[in-house]
Amino acid sequence: PIDSTIKVVCDIGYRPVGNPSSREMMVKCTSTCTFNVTEACRPIFCNSSTIQNANVIAERNTSLIEHNSKVVVFCNHGYHVSETSACNTSYEMYCYDGNFASDKRCIPITPSDCGCGIGQCKPYQLNTGEVQVSPDVTISHGSLVRV
């Protein structure tokens, strides 16, 4: 009947036109006995700019990252993946219903994280003795060493 309503529920990864915060919308029957729904649900996308301290490469090489699409996150120099060793500087994650589905993030490498040659360790001034870098290289008194 005229003025009756139906509830449209968009699939995961889609939102009603004009209501991006909900997956549901009510549609009213018009005087011509039709439901005025030309484009009820549109795809939503994840925003790669929400990923801090990193570059994000999308699986489909586009800035519009659709639901169920994979991205690879490369931490900026001086950062590594949270809850991993300082050597781990990239990870994969998926866009799910407009949000990235991962608790991982890129965090600063601290001096205690050193060991991969990518850390931000402060230079070490050798005052006495020697530092042996490899079997062939010896660094002696007064030299500046970056580890």
pTM for this model (two decimals)? 0.64
Summarised one tens digit per residue, pLDDT across range 22-68 is 888 888 888 888 777 766 788 999 998 889 999 999 987 777 899 99
Q: Is-contact 3 31, C-beta < 8 A?
A: no
Token pair of 17 as six digits:
């036109």
Domain 45-113 falls under CATH 3.40.225.10: no
H-run or E-run covering 131: strand 131-134
Q: Is-contact 41 17, C-beta < 8 A?
A: yes
Q: What is the structure's pLDDT at 107?
A: 94
Domain residues of the chain, as ranges?
5-43, 45-113
Concatenating the DSSP letter of every residue in 31-68 gives: TTS-B--SS-EEE-EE-GGGSTTEEEEETTSSSSEETT
